[in-house]
Amino acid sequence: MSKTSETILEINLAHLTHNFTYLKSKLDAKVKVLAVVKASGYGSDATIIARHLEKIGADYFAVAYTSEGIQLRDAGITTPILVLHPQPINFQKIIDYQLEPSLYSTRVLKEFVSTATSNEKKHYPVHIKFNTGLNRIGFNENDSNAIIAQLNTTDTIKVVSLLSHLAASEDPDEREFTLNQIRSFKQIADQIHTKLGYTPILHQSNTSGIFNYPEAHLNMVRTGIGLYGYGNEAKYDKQLKPVMSLKSVISQIHDLQPGDSLGYNRAFIADTATKTATIPIGHADGIGRHYGNKKGYVTINNKRAYIIGNVCMDMIMVDITNIDCNEGDEVIIFGPESSAADIAEHSGTISYELLTAISPRVQRVVIDNK
């Protein structure tokens, strides 16, 4: 038995290197790699992940919010950092910390030009985001004249890249829709290129775009989930290695008799003799209540133990009736041995949500071998 003695999240840097190398093998040599490290590096630790990726050659980083970029700069990261979803209230900080905003509307573009102007900036690097069908954030195709008009009034900013985001790159049933997004972005890029007189970096692919749409690799790709070891499809999952392992330990074992109840609200009632294990991880650690009542499971001695009853704040209870195990034994919640994507699917969610939910209370432990 392994000797994990409390709940920990292991971060395996050798696996991160493997995934980075595998993703790069899908790209032409001149395509740049932007590593998405938002949401604490998909629930791991953004600083640890970014330091390692900076060492092994990531060209760019992206975060969602300004505060996440500041954290990376404070940790000494010097690679360019794109802030995907900034708010005007943070534009002064974006400049102070040399972060690069994604500008997604006329309002936001004007605000940024105004902040850059008052800081007497020249050619400050910015990125222009286009909506090609996700309808989330971004300029529309017919905004390009207004953008150019705005850019022609000032030399305070310089457009380093144009980007758009795919809505369904992992879904083969939406191939037509995705190809339309790719076509539409190319048209926008042509228009802007003609009017700007120079070529910004073009990028549109997320992880599944890398695998499924080589025509959308353009000059750079943005990969998040793939770096962390998940490919949104079994055949790519097999090639990647999960970076995060969430592990815990059996605190106590109980024997329930028929009719005994378990946990809050008596959500589980034993109908036969049932052996249960209590594990020190709960919804405050990121294992939400939707994993309770046999939706989610953990692995003990290579066997699946379903979560029974309601998930508590600091504990879950699992059914170990048919598992040979003892108090103090290791419990795997997810990792290379038990895919976060499978648990998520069984519980009605996706790997992204399970990974990014792991709260700061869980101790992060870096390992760099295997």
If one asks whether residue 224 binds ligand PLP (CB under 6 A), the answer comes out as: yes
**Phi, psi (degrees; rounded to nearest 5) at 355:** -65, -50
**Single residue of 31, 46, 58, 84 touching ligand PLP by CB under 6 A:** 84
Q: CA neighbours within 13 Å on the CB side: how many for 219? A: 14
Residue 44 or 207 having the CB closest to ligand PLP = 207
Interacting span for ligand PLP (CB under 6 A) from 118-126, 218-226, 304-312, 343-351: 218-226
- Closest separation in Å from C-beta 165 to ligand PLP: 4
Minimum Å gap between C-beta 228 and ligand PLP is 8
- What does the per-residue mask of binding to ligand PLP show for 284-323, with x meaning CB under 6 A? ----------------------------------------
Q: Tell which one of 225, 249, 298, 312 touches ligand PLP (CB under 6 A).
A: 225
Triad 196, 201, 204: Cα angle to 5° = 115
How far is 203 from 31, CA to CA, in rounded Å? Answer: 10
- In the complex, the smallest distance separating the C-beta of residue 283 from ligand PLP, rounded to whole angstroms, is 24
- Residue number of the CB closest to ligand PLP reads 224
- For residue 52, the tally of other CB atoms under 10 A from its CB is 21
Q: Cα dist. 236→18, 33, 208 in Å? A: 13, 18, 9
> In the set 127, 165, 241, 283, which binds ligand PLP (CB under 6 A)?
165
Burial 155-175 (b: 16+ CB within 10 A, else e): ebbebbbbbbbbebbbeeebe
CB 158 within 8 A of CB 123: yes
- Residue 254's DSSP bridge partners are 276
Binding region for ligand PLP (CB under 6 A) out of 19-27, 93-101, 147-155, 222-230: 222-230
Q: Residue 209 in contact with residue 166, Cβ under 8 Å?
A: yes
222 binds ligand PLP (CB under 6 A): yes
Judged by CB under 6 A, the residue of 36, 63, 287, 341 near ligand PLP is 36
- Give the helix ranges, DSSP H, for the chain: 13-25, 38-43, 46-56, 66-74, 91-96, 106-118, 144-152, 175-196, 207-212, 234-237, 340-346, 351-356
Work out how close the CB of 207 gets to ligand PLP at its nearest, in angstroms, rounded to a whole number.
Answer: 3
Give the shortest CB-84-to-ligand PLP separation in angstroms: 5
- Kindly list the catalytic residues: 38, 264
Query: Which residues on adjacent β-strands are paired with residue 82?
Result: 62, 100
> Per CB under 6 A, which region of 153-161, 217-225, 319-327, 336-344 contacts ligand PLP?
217-225
Q: Residue 210 or residue 317: which is nearer to ligand PLP going by CB?
A: 210
Closer to ligand PLP by CB, 7 or 44: give it. Answer: 44
Q: Give the nearest distance from C-beta 170 to ligand PLP in angstroms.
A: 8
Selected binder of ligand PLP within 184, 223, 248, 347 (CB under 6 A): 223
Cβ of residue 348: shortest distance to ligand PLP, in angstroms?
Answer: 19
Residues near ligand PLP (CB under 6 A), total? 11
- Give the CB-side neighbour count of residue 11, counting CA atoms within 13 A: 23
What whole-number distance in Å separates Cα of residue 63 and Cα of residue 76? 15
Length reported for the chain: 370
Q: How far apart are CA 47 and CA 73, in angstroms?
A: 9
> Residue 86 interacts with ligand PLP (CB under 6 A)?
no
Which residues of the shown chain bind ligand PLP in the complex (CB under 6 A)? 36, 38, 84, 165, 206-207, 222-226
